[in-house]
């Protein structure tokens, strides 16, 4: 079978990781990536052998910078079966007519809102719903982390209510413009934050509230999750459920922070120190009268990357079984 031809439109934090992850699979290939400016990230893309596409008016600038573009973004889209849109939140929506005109399938990221695709995706929660779809939105890192944790508990025990408090990294490690550097910012003041409703875009029957703070760190988000469940259970039961999930990783052995998780990711030689799994501290799991608590850390730069691969596989009809797609993606990436 011919490999599915994938274009990655936007080569920032998510795009560059999605490109590498697609390249690592045996049933799909990258036909091109797009970049607006010939900067240091474009130089690495060039070095990695990706065909770089750019808006027509920027072709000359790439030529001058010694990394000739393969063509315009429109030309890239023409070559693809499916475009993964990894442009900044809000820009993706403006690209929709381009994809429609070219008749290609499209994936957007969580920065766009649910109606752009009419289907919000998490591999553990609703893989099958994405089968053969033309348009899909892969939800944000925080929503992905919540869906991965809620779905297995809901299937085993039934979830009555979720209360999630998110301490969000203020910005990504390479961002030299944003803060705060010494403040805790309510994000937003008015409750709930968008994360609870966004989980419902994937799993509509879940009763969930959420609140979010921005804190001065770049490494990972940290969720304090409270769930009321319908069935009596123990902390051991919860650990067993979580340990059955290949994209949930248990954190312990003296680790008490996001910084130490990132050190593990570096030590195990993960590309770009990516941590694709939800990082849950089993020691934090406590259960009292059908109410459980736990902490989980979410690597904002990489957690959605395997989800994008699975979404491609479902939409292209390459695999009808979500569990098998997750396994295949994980194996190729090295999860």
The residues carrying an active-site annotation are 141
Does position 174 interact with a copy of itself (CB under 8 A)? The reply is: no
As a residue count, the chain comes to: 335
The residue within the footprint of a copy of itself, chosen from 88, 90, 188, 334 (CB under 8 A), is 188
Task: Give the separation between CA 305 and CA 17, rounded to whole angstroms.
Answer: 7
Tell me: is residue 182 an annotated ligand-binding position: no
Does position 215 interact with a copy of itself (CB under 8 A)? The reply is: yes
Does position 184 interact with a copy of itself (CB under 8 A)? The reply is: yes
**What does the block give as tokens for 17?**
């990781």
Where are the strands (E) in 21-93, listed by range? 28-34, 52-54, 71-72, 82-85
Give the position of tokens 């408090």: 165
The residue within the footprint of a copy of itself, chosen from 42, 106, 157, 219 (CB under 8 A), is 219
* Closer of 105 and 221 to a copy of itself (Cβ): 221
The residue within the footprint of a copy of itself, chosen from 31, 211, 305, 314 (CB under 8 A), is 211
Does position 56 interact with a copy of itself (CB under 8 A)? The reply is: no
Q: DSSP alpha helices (H): ranges in 48-189?
A: 59-64, 73-79, 91-102, 123-126, 141-157
Calculate the CA 58 to chain-centre distance.
29
Between the CA of residue 199 and those of 86, 107, 122, 146, 162, what are the distances in Å?
A: 20, 18, 10, 7, 10
* Closer of 131 and 215 to a copy of itself (Cβ): 215
Does position 253 interact with a copy of itself (CB under 8 A)? The reply is: no
Of 49, 54, 47, nearest to 11 (Cα)? 54
Does position 218 interact with a copy of itself (CB under 8 A)? The reply is: yes
Does position 268 interact with a copy of itself (CB under 8 A)? The reply is: no
- Would you give the binding string for a copy of itself spanning residues 15-54, x where CB under 8 A is met? ----------------------------------------
By CB under 8 A, the count of residues binding a copy of itself is 42
Between the CA of residue 145 and those of 105, 254, 279, 300, what are the distances in Å?
A: 25, 22, 9, 9
Name the site residues for a copy of itself (rule: CB under 8 A): 163, 165, 167, 169, 180, 182-192, 209, 211, 213, 215-220, 222, 224, 226, 256-260, 281, 283-284, 286, 288, 293-295, 297
């Amino acid at each position: 079978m011919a490999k599915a031809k994938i274009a990655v439109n936007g080569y920032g934090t998510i795009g560059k990781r999605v490109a590498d992850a697609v390249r690592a699979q045996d049933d799909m290939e990258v036909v091109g990536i797009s970049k607006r400016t010939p900067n240091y990230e474009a130089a690495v893309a060039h070095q990695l052998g990706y065909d770089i596409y750019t808006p027509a008016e920027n072709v000359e600038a790439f030529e001058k910078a010694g990394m000739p573009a393969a063509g315009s973004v429109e030309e890239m889209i023409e070559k693809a079966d499916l475009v993964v849109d990894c442009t900044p939140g809000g820009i993706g929506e403006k690209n929709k007519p381009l994809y429609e005109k070219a008749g290609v399938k499209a994936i957007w990221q969580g920065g766009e809102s649910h109606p752009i695709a009419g289907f919000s995706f998490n591999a553990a929660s609703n893989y099958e719903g994405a089968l053969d779809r033309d348009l899909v939105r892969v939800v944000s890192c925080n929503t992905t982390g919540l869906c991965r944790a809620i779905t297995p508990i809901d299937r085993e025990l039934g979830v009555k209510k979720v209360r999630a408090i998110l301490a969000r990294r203020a910005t990504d490690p390479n961002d030299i413009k944003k803060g705060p550097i010494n403040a805790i910012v309510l994000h937003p003041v008015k409750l709930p934050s968008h994360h609870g409703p966004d989980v419902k875009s994937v799993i509509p029957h879940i009763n969930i509230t959420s609140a979010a703070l921005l804190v001065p760190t770049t490494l990972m988000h940290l969720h304090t999750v409270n769930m009321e469940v319908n069935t009596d259970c123990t902390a051991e039961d919860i650990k067993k459920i979580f340990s059955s999930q290949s994209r949930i990783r248990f954190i312990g052995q003296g680790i008490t922070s996001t910084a130490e998780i990132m050190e593990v990711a570096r030590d195990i030689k993960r590309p770009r120190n990516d941590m694709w799994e939800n990082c849950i501290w089993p020691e934090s799991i406590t259960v009292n009268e059908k109410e459980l608590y736990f902490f989980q850390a979410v690597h904002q730069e990489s957690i959605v990357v395997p989800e994008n691969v699975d979404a491609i596989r479902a939409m292209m009809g390459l695999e009808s079984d979500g569990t098998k797609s997750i396994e295949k993606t994980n194996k190729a990436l090295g999860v």
